[in-house]
Amino acid sequence: MKGLFNGGCHCGKVNFKIDGQVLNVVNCHCSICRRVNGGAYSSYLVVPDQAFEVTGGSEFLTRYAMSDKAEKNFCNICGAPVFNRNKLYSGVTVVPLGCLNEAAKFFPKVDVFCEDMLPWVMPWRESKRYEKGM
């Protein structure tokens, strides 16, 4: 899906826009995402780095290294996740679907790390499932 989408954190200090192609919509069931976001799984948009821009409040972002490859950037006022980057997937920014104003427009295309999926989770029927990453 291509377009202009806006989003931000819960307290409203950090705002961003996505202007360009959404490359993928992913549910990640890995244990890292579970811990850092607190949900059973985490839903993300994957967009080219150049399509993603923090339009306000970048001074409120804190970067946290989730692993030696992956970083999470979150609002240090409200704690909401804003974007992730991973050295394994260079050139793309991973944006939490729930922080988009237009969250309901996006449907998951893939579920990854299904081997770590909690037993009661029911993936979206049209989503392609991977036991590990892609």
Q: How far is the CB of 67 from Zn ion (least distance, A)?
A: 10
Q: Which residues contact 28 (CB under 8 A, 6 or more apart)?
A: 41, 42, 43, 44, 111, 112, 113
* DSSP 8-state class, residue 12: S
Start-end of H helices in the chain: 31-37
Residue pair 125/27 in contact (Cβ under 8 Å)? The answer is no
82 binds Zn ion (CB under 5 A): no
Q: Which stretch binds Zn ion (CB under 5 A): 3-11, 45-53, 61-69, 93-101?
A: 3-11
Of the candidate residues 33, 46, 97, 99, the single one contacting Zn ion (CB under 5 A): 33
> Min. distance of Cβ 65 from Zn ion in angstroms?
14
Sheet holding 52-56, edge to edge: 2-8, 15-21, 52-56
Q: How far is the CB of 2 from Zn ion (least distance, A)?
A: 25
Candidates 16-24, 48-56, 73-81, 119-127: pick the segment binding Zn ion (CB under 5 A). Answer: 73-81
61 part of the interface to Zn ion, by CB under 5 A: no
